[in-house]
Amino acid sequence: MRWTMNHMPASEDRYLSLMAAEQVDKARAFHSTFPQYQKTPLVNLPHLAECLGLGGICVKDESWRFGLNAFKVLGASFAMANYIASQMGRDVSEMTYDYLTSEKLKEDFGTATFFTATDGNHGRGVAWAAKRLHQKAVVHMPKGSSKFRYDNIAKEGALVTIEEVNYDDCVRIAAREASGTEHGVIVQDTAWEGYEDIPSWIMQGYGTLSSEAAEQLKAFGADRPTHVFVQAGVGSFAASVVGYLTNLWTDAPPKFIVVEADAAACLYEGAAKGDGEPAIVTGDLQTIMAGLACGEPNIIGWDILRNHVSAFAAIEDADAARAMRILAAPLRGDTAVISGESGAAGMGCLAAIMSREDLKDFRDQLGLDGSSRVLLFSTEGDTDPAYYRRVVWDGAWGK
């Protein structure tokens, strides 16, 4: 594992307000209009916490989200609703599920084509939402993408391709095609100069799960965690979590630790440089954590993270695989969590820190001990069941 504490200079922090409670409340109100909406579980793992020498561990289990086995649909649907509202000169609060799925929407708005790049979960969310909103979707996947994930997207009626390039180049393909298509728009959670509105809406959409988790923690008598581990690809989800919880607990925010796949650790690389400027990682970005295989950070998310994250870590595939097994086969009395390769990244990092002597310095600098209460996010379930079984049943990527 590679790790660094955050020594970067602070910026003006102008994006933190994107994740203010009133912004996230709009997203949650929107999602609540969906007939498929219900809070996903926050799983308490007291016996695992004791085993690792911690005061508590809670895992937000997103495998239950909308029947799609991952959280990404929250961002995609809210961004698409905001885009439609903006084109009509209306507020997103008017964009209920019933209206968006009605024939009236087609009369008022017409049809757009939503383009995106994905390893699977985000693209499935875009395709799922587009189908229900009577819109079109085009989804490009990077080389090496799972056939099972491809099929799940295609089942939603989207045009899907697997390209012979990495994720970041797929984003460029989607952006180029969207700009050359009448009523075409790219829905991507990474941001660049001139493309900031939709990524901001996606981050706010992700905020629904952080809002739920904050409420659910109170039910466990744990008003707030001391530490939050959150995985990152381009950093949009991580910044959503960090931004919302920082705004929520301004007087005493938890320590945030961002976890990436070692093969695609662009945020870690930027933090290790220490100058506050983002870094880019190139190449094939091959990792079992496909949802984290992104080499170019979201500039909005990066700004939030550089100001509020305590540490950045880059884990190996074996760490994620071990975490999948830990969650799938819990200690007696704890609840099992079906967590996919990317979903288990936070647990992989935490378990390694608490059990490896070579990471004692990292553990000490984070102040992880018997009084620590840790919040994790399992962002996906077994989105590729055969792959999941290879890891959990057959021991693939074991140390």
Tally the residues of the chain: 399
- Phi and psi dihedrals of 231, rounded to 5? -80, 160
Q: Where are the alpha helices (H) located in 32-144, listed in sequence order?
A: 46-52, 73-88, 97-100, 103-108, 121-132
Closest CA to 18 of 244, 231, 190: 244
Identify whether the C-beta of residue 119 lies closer than 8 Å to the C-beta of residue 384.
no
- Range(s) of the chain covered by CATH 3.40.50.1100: 2-70+199-392, 73-191
Catalytic residue among 26, 60, 61, 119: 119
Q: Residues 284-289: what's their mean pLDDT?
A: 94
Q: Which long-range contacts (CB under 8 A, 24 or more apart) does 296-299 make?
A: 296/168, 296/171, 296/190, 296/234, 296/266, 297/190, 297/234, 297/235, 297/266, 297/267, 297/270, 298/189, 298/190, 298/191, 298/199, 298/234, 298/235, 298/236, 298/239, 299/191, 299/192, 299/193
Q: Residues 7-19: what's their mean pLDDT?
A: 97
pTM above 0.75, yes or no: yes
- pLDDT over 90 (residue 223): no
Q: Is 119 a catalytic residue?
A: yes
Condensed to tens digits (0 to 9), the pLDDT of residues 46-66 reads: 999 999 999 999 999 999 999
Identify whether the C-beta of residue 100 lies closer than 8 Å to the C-beta of residue 133.
yes
Beta strands in 1-41 (DSSP E): 2-5
Closest CA to 297 of 274, 273, 272, 268: 268
Condensed to tens digits (0 to 9), the pLDDT of residues 137-151 reads: 999 999 999 999 999
Rg over CA atoms, the chain: 20
- Cα(266)–Cα(11) distance, integer angstroms: 19
Closest CA to 399 of 289, 291, 315: 315
Catalytic residue among 26, 60, 61, 72: 72
Closest CA to 124 of 386, 380, 392: 380
Identify whether the C-beta of residue 118 lies closer than 8 Å to the C-beta of residue 141.
yes
- pLDDT over 90 (residue 220): no
Identify whether the C-beta of residue 189 lies closer than 8 Å to the C-beta of residue 291.
no
- Cα(359)–Cα(389) distance, integer angstroms: 29
Condensed to tens digits (0 to 9), the pLDDT of residues 74-129 reads: 999 999 999 999 999 999 999 999 999 999 998 999 999 999 999 889 999 999 99
Q: Residues 7-34: what's their mean pLDDT?
A: 97
Closest CA to 185 of 120, 133, 243, 108: 133
- pLDDT over 80 (residue 32): yes
| pLDDT value of residue 399 | 67
Listing from the earlier edge strand, what are the strands of the sheet with 184-186? 159-162, 136-141, 113-117, 184-186
| pLDDT value of residue 349 | 98
Q: Residues 386-392: what's their mean pLDDT?
A: 96
State the amino acid at position 48 in one-letter form.
L
State which fold the 2-70+199-392 domain adopts.
Rossmann fold (3.40.50)
Query: Which CATH number, 3.40.50.1100, 3.40.1280.10, 3.40.50.300, 3.90.650.10, labels domain 73-191?
Result: 3.40.50.1100
- Band of residue 398 on the pLDDT scale cut at 50, 70, 90: confident
β-pairing, 311-315 with 2-5?
antiparallel
β-pairing, 255-261 with 2-5?
unpaired
Closest CA to 290 of 260, 312, 322, 324: 260
| pLDDT value of residue 186 | 97
Check residue 163 and give left, alpha or beta (phi > 0: left; psi -120 to 50: alpha). beta
Condensed to tens digits (0 to 9), the pLDDT of residues 326-344 reads: 999 999 999 999 999 999 9
Q: What angle do CA 333, 330, 39 make, to 5 degrees?
A: 80
Q: Where are the alpha helices (H) located in the chain, listed in sequence order?
A: 21-31, 46-52, 73-88, 97-100, 103-108, 121-132, 147-154, 167-179, 197-219, 236-248, 266-273, 299-308, 317-328, 345-355, 360-366, 385-392
- pLDDT over 90 (residue 193): no
- Cα(36)–Cα(66) distance, integer angstroms: 5
Q: Is 72 a catalytic residue?
A: yes
| pLDDT value of residue 222 | 76
